[in-house]
Amino acid sequence: MDNIIGRKLDGRYEIQEIIGVGGMAVVYKAYDSIDDRIVAVKVLKEEYLKNDEFRRRFKNESKAVAVLSHPNIVKVFDVSFGDRIQYIVMEYIDGITLKEYIEQQNLLTWKETVHFSVQILRALQHAHERGIVHRDIKPQNIMMLEDGTIKVTDFGIARFAQSETKTMTDKAIGSVHYISPEQARGGHTDEKSDIYSVGVMLYEMLTGKLPFEAESAVSVAIMQMQEDPKRLRNLNPDIPEGLEDITLHAMQKDPAQRYKSAADMLEDIERFKRNPSIHFQYKYFVDESPTKYVDVIKEVKGDNSTIDDKFEKNPAAAKKSNLLPILAGVTAALVIVVVGMILLTLAMRGVFSTNNQVTVPNLVGQQLQAAQANTANNIIQIIESNTEYNSKPAGQIISQTPAANTKVSKNSEVKVVVSKGPQLIAIPDVYGQEKTQAEGTLQSSGFTNVNEQQQYDPNTAIGYVISTQPERGQQAAPGDAITVLISLGPTPNALQSVPDLSGLTQDLATRNIQDAGLIAGTPTQEYSSTVPKGYVTRQDPVKATQVPANTTINFWISKGPQPASAPTTTTVPLLVGLNVNDAQAALTKCNLKCGQIYSVYDDNVPSGTVVSASENQGAVVKIGTSVDLDVSTGGSNSSGSSTTSTTTSTTSSQ
């Protein structure tokens, strides 16, 4: 497509140079002569003009981005879908891709990673809320401006959420290192597929490595579907646990176990930013369904129809069935005789005498072991029949059968139900949450007795949770009191430590200053030969200085190396002996001017040759200085004496 460089598309867009080449299109830098601005023009490659699928995808990108308007998404200004050329006119981004930046840095700090990820997620939240799923989120499609601003680009395989959600992998597979497992298998894709890709980018930024790498794209796709990535902190122990939790939660194989939306992921990142020591206790693969018991006997008895059919079809079996009533009668008679003999024996021994009966005591409220010890004389037998969670202390009897005051025979069994104590619940992690949100989380978990205490804390924003007592993750009963410690912000007049701003962009430096409870001053631009353009060169006060809260921290931003200054002086060249034309050329080359030219008669010097000059050879003079020349005429005057005549001629001879 180089042949369109220099052309003017539709009499408006002057194509200047190629700035990017993709799978189906070439991106050019161009000048919009109507709106007087530089734009990017994405042109569909000629070989795909007759391919319906690529034409559809190209139009799909323009439709997708046309409904979006967000500072972190590249803007579309114009489209053209002609038969001979198809192009999209977009916002020109003067920057590099996030992939290029990652390769330059090897791995990013967690603060930079969070800064970039928040912008990407905000862009995706905007797109998802308008029914657009990107489906090819990767650092190659993320542009980074000099000030650290992120722009999401290339919606080439994006789809509208209400359109088809299952497509063949050759149409929507995206980049294999960043695709979700459902994309790899050609299954259903939705907003959670973009969330997975963001998780992969987080992984790469924090560790400098991709979670899955292999010799072939197919192998990588299989790993995306079947294998779990290495823990991030195994590769980079400096990564905060909370950020590792967020990354792995976004990269769950099962879409149902990922973040439900970009907004949900943003919420956790904001909690992490407020408290970098936070730890998210995500749980996966929890089977919360109740245990089911199968009544095998009932299932066997339920098949009587089959048994009856066999009897009807088997004459021998039918004959045997006729004997059943007789056998049943004989058995019943024998049972009656045996029971009668037993009752007679018991009566003779006085078992039914009222002297052998006792009154069941009230066991409810007693500890099981104490009750059993009190009845050790075998008046009754206390049997623990069941246990259950209860507000009563563990080991206490909460019910009995038979009830208290019931008459029973000596040594009879009294079955009791014993308390296991209150059912304990793990205290949820509300560290870093806003006070109202934290109280709601605790109450929805079953803790209704929530108390509040306040405390100064320089690391937690005002109104947010510092910690709980008991601490997060510990077990407590629903009725137990839970104390929530709420931050009052930094202690008044307390000293704060000035953060280290070296090597940060202006935005990140400002954020770090504000996070420390300090005020960011207006940055000053200065030249630097050691710090890249756009990054902090120095700060005042310096890092680790202890200053009061709300102190203004000033810092300087590099403008890059100082350009070389133009020279102000020059050296007079050799002029004597040169032809006057050559002398004038030598003066011009040294940024000097040729002043007056004087004719002199000199028999020894050829005509047109410079005899002398008003400035000596090698003299240092200001640029633009005029130098007068004495030029020989080559002859004598009439008296034979050598004289000089002054002229203003600029020719070399009479």
Task: Kindly list the strands in the beta sheet with 37-44, ordered across the sheet, starting from the edge strand earlier in the chain.
Answer: 8-9, 13-21, 25-32, 37-44, 86-91, 76-81
Cα end-to-end distance, the chain, whole Å: 62
Q: Which residue has the tokens 């339920």?
A: 302
Cis status, amide bond into 470, omega within 30 of 0: yes
- Residues 463 and 457: their CA atoms lie apart, in Å, by 11
For 614-646, letters b (16+ CB in 10 Å) and e give: bbeeeeebeeebebebbbbbbeeeeeeeeeeee
Burial class of residue 115 (count of CB atoms within 10 Å of its CB; 0-12, 13-18, 19+): buried
Strand partners, 548: 495
Number of H helices, E strands in the chain: 17, 33
Residue 228 a catalytic site member:
no
CA 268 to chain centre: 10
Question: How many Cα atoms sit within 13 Å of 150 on the Cβ side?
Answer: 23
211-216 contact pairs (CB < 8 A, 24+): 211/251, 212/177, 213/177
Q: What is the DSSP code (8-state) at residue 130?
A: T
Vertex 359 angle, CA 356 and 365, to 5°: 145
Characterise 618 by phi-psi region: left (phi > 0), alpha (psi -120 to 50), beta (else).
Answer: left
- Residues 426 and 443: their CA atoms lie apart, in Å, by 13
- Residues 177 and 140: their CA atoms lie apart, in Å, by 12
479-482 contact pairs (CB < 8 A, 24+): 479/391, 479/422, 479/448, 479/449, 480/447, 480/449, 481/449, 481/450, 481/451, 482/427, 482/442, 482/447, 482/449, 482/450, 482/451
CB distance 193 to 255 below 8 Å: yes
Structure tokens of 369? Answer: 């072991």
Per DSSP bridges, beta strands 412-419 and 380-388 are parallel
Catalytic residue among 2, 10, 36, 136: 136
CB distance 499 to 513 below 8 Å: yes
Strand partners, 13: 9, 32
Catalytic residue ranges: 136
